[in-house]
Chains A and B, each alone.
Chain A
Amino acid sequence: MGIISLSAMLVAALIGIAIVAGIGENAVFIPGLLQGAWLTVQIAVVGCILAVVMATIAALLRLYGPAPLRWLAVTYVEFFRGTSALVQLFWLFYVLPDFGISMEPFTVAVLGLGLNVGAYGAEVVRGAIQGIQRGQWEATTALNMTRWQALRRIILPQAFVAMIPPWGNLFIELLKSTALVSLITMTDLTFRAKTLNDYSFKTIPIFTLALLMYLVLSLIVTIGMRRLEKVSMRGMVRGQGRT
């Protein structure tokens, strides 16, 4: 969908929240849900930062690292892409204490989701770096740059632009995955919706509000990433820097 349609949906979702909240006494659910949404946002933001860091490290190690580190990166990516996100969270939450490692639920949530999405992101970063034309590398050699200089000044800035759309999708995936943390006792938006439902039985308005709040958050991410893509494409000649 285009940026205009997405913005229209964002406005519609906000109006939807206002309408549902305006019916009867539904407004009483808003503060609780907003508190949950705030925790969801915190987990998502810290998780995204961890995911980007892990993805970059894993991709660079896989591409340029010495053999043992390369294998480590491959193992990390295959392991986290191969098992379910919920199983990973449960494992961190229930099994690690058996080995004497107890973490706060917030840490477990951020670690679990960040490592999971980071593994998918590693493939995005790797693909974007490999998509840069060979000639760019050859030119940096001709200019007598070190490999690290070439990567930092020439290759990564160009790969960055190609990475934005897939990272946008991954951020949405991460935001949606935060709902899983409600199953490890965190009071996020999903958890709040469920507990409010358990004692008020006003199922339809509560879950509608929660769904619309998730929609608003996702749309903000999508629209933000589209804008970032536009801004970073500025000054680039189309087709340049990509194969």
Chain B
Amino acid sequence: MIWSWNYTFEALPIIAKASIVTIEATLLSFVIALVLGLVLAILRMSGPTVGWVTSAFVEFIRSTPALIQIFFLFFVLPKAGIVLDAFTAGIIALSVHYACYCSEVYRAGLEAVPRGQWEACTALNLSSWNTFKNIILPQAIPPIVPALGNYLVALFKETPLLSAIAVLEMVQAAKSLGTENFRYTEPMTIVGVIFLVISLVSAAGIRWLEQRLNRRSVR
């Protein structure tokens, strides 16, 4: 017996249900990461001390494994009196981790906006907040959309880490199916195929988006 279709059809609905948790975790973490990443990028540009502290924080988060950050939050927060369920703790850890990656992308985008834009806004007497919000940001975002998209796919592929704190996402579902039936081949392969298909489709989508944005931004 190399492959059992009966078992496959038994496992498929369970994994499909768990895939909803995976997708929820991906999208929620990514939205938080996008906002927090921008905040970190702005903090890095504001003043030498704040900038250095933020850089050190970003470097620290980027240099240590997401898995141990997840453990840290999951086990440490209850000590501080904050009891979170595994899903929430996992989402917070993943979104902070990816916010640090995104902040680097934002920084690249913001630094690519020519200085003259800032100077022109000073000449027009716009406040620095208005300048940032209405002039700089709209120019900085479109070129970095593909890079952010790549991080969305990377984040999607990191959600299996949540299985380590028993969040019932796809890998955890496959693992418990395997433990119950003493056979991991079918559930693990199904999960692998789902990851592969979604990643390849989104990679193609990002390429398409990149080409569209490139076409538009030719001046």
Interface residue ranges, A against B (CB under 8 Å):
1, 5-6, 9, 78-79, 81-88, 90-91, 94-95, 98-99, 172, 176-180, 182-183, 189-190, 193-194, 197, 203-204, 207, 210-211, 214-215, 218-219, 222
- Is B191 an interface position by the 8 A CB rule? yes
CA distance A193 to B68 in the complex (A): 9
Of all chain B residues, the one with the shortest Cβ separation from A94 is B184
CA distance A220 to B56 in the complex (A): 15
Interface residues of B in 24-60 (CB under 8 A from A): 52, 55-56, 59-60
Give 6 A-B pairs besides A5-B52, A180-B161 with Cβ atoms closer than 8 angstroms. A94-B188, A172-B63, A178-B65, A179-B68, A190-B71, A204-B79
Pick the residue among A9, A88, A193, A210 that contacts B56 (CB under 8 A): A9
For B175, list chain A residues within 8 Å (CB). Answer: 90, 94
Question: Once the chains bind, are A90 and B171 in contact (CB under 8 Å)?
Answer: yes
CA distance A81 to B199 in the complex (A): 8
For A190, list chain B residues within 8 Å (CB). Answer: 65, 67-68, 71
Question: Once the chains bind, are A5 and B184 in contact (CB under 8 Å)?
Answer: no
- Interface size class for chain B? 35 or more
The majority secondary structure among interface residues of chain A is helix
Question: Once the chains bind, are B161 and A86 in contact (CB under 8 Å)?
Answer: yes
Which residue of B63, B161, B174 has the most chain A CB atoms within 10 A of its CB atom?
A: B63
For B205, list chain A residues within 8 Å (CB). Answer: none
For A1, list chain B residues within 8 Å (CB). Answer: 55-56, 59
For B191, list chain A residues within 8 Å (CB). Answer: 87
- Is B178 an interface position by the 8 A CB rule? yes
CA distance A179 to B178 in the complex (A): 22
Cβ distance B72 to chain A, nearest Cβ, rounded Å: 4
CA distance A55 to B156 in the complex (A): 24
Question: Once the chains bind, are B195 and A84 in contact (CB under 8 Å)?
Answer: yes
A-B contact count (CB 8 A): 118
Cβ distance B35 to chain A, nearest Cβ, rounded Å: 24
For B119, list chain A residues within 8 Å (CB). Answer: none
Question: Once the chains bind, are A86 and B76 in contact (CB under 8 Å)?
Answer: no
- A-B complex: 5 closest residue pairs judged by Cβ atoms: A218-B63, A179-B65, A94-B184, A82-B199, A86-B160
For A207, list chain B residues within 8 Å (CB). Answer: 68, 71-72, 75-76
Interface residues of B in 119-163 (CB under 8 A from A): 157-161, 163
CA distance A5 to B67 in the complex (A): 26
Cβ distance B106 to chain A, nearest Cβ, rounded Å: 16
Question: Once the chains bind, are A222 and B63 in contact (CB under 8 Å)?
Answer: yes
| A-B residue pairs in contact (CB < 8 Å), sample of 19 | A82-B200, A87-B171, A87-B191, A87-B192, A90-B184, A94-B175, A94-B184, A98-B184, A99-B2, A172-B62, A176-B64, A180-B67, A180-B161, A183-B164, A190-B71, A197-B71, A211-B60, A211-B68, A214-B68
For A79, list chain B residues within 8 Å (CB). Answer: 196
Of all chain B residues, the one with the shortest Cβ separation from A178 is B65
Pick the residue among A88, A95, A197 that contacts B185 (CB under 8 A): A95
Question: Once the chains bind, are A86 and B163 in contact (CB under 8 Å)?
Answer: yes
Of all chain A residues, the one with the shortest Cβ separation from B59 is A1
For B63, list chain A residues within 8 Å (CB). Answer: 172, 176, 214-215, 218-219, 222
Question: Once the chains bind, are B59 and A9 in contact (CB under 8 Å)?
Answer: yes
Of all chain B residues, the one with the shortest Cβ separation from A217 is B63
Question: Once the chains bind, are A176 and B79 in contact (CB under 8 Å)?
Answer: no
Cβ distance B3 to chain A, nearest Cβ, rounded Å: 10
Cβ distance B138 to chain A, nearest Cβ, rounded Å: 29
For B2, list chain A residues within 8 Å (CB). Answer: 99
Question: Once the chains bind, are B158 and A84 in contact (CB under 8 Å)?
Answer: yes
CA distance A78 to B207 in the complex (A): 15
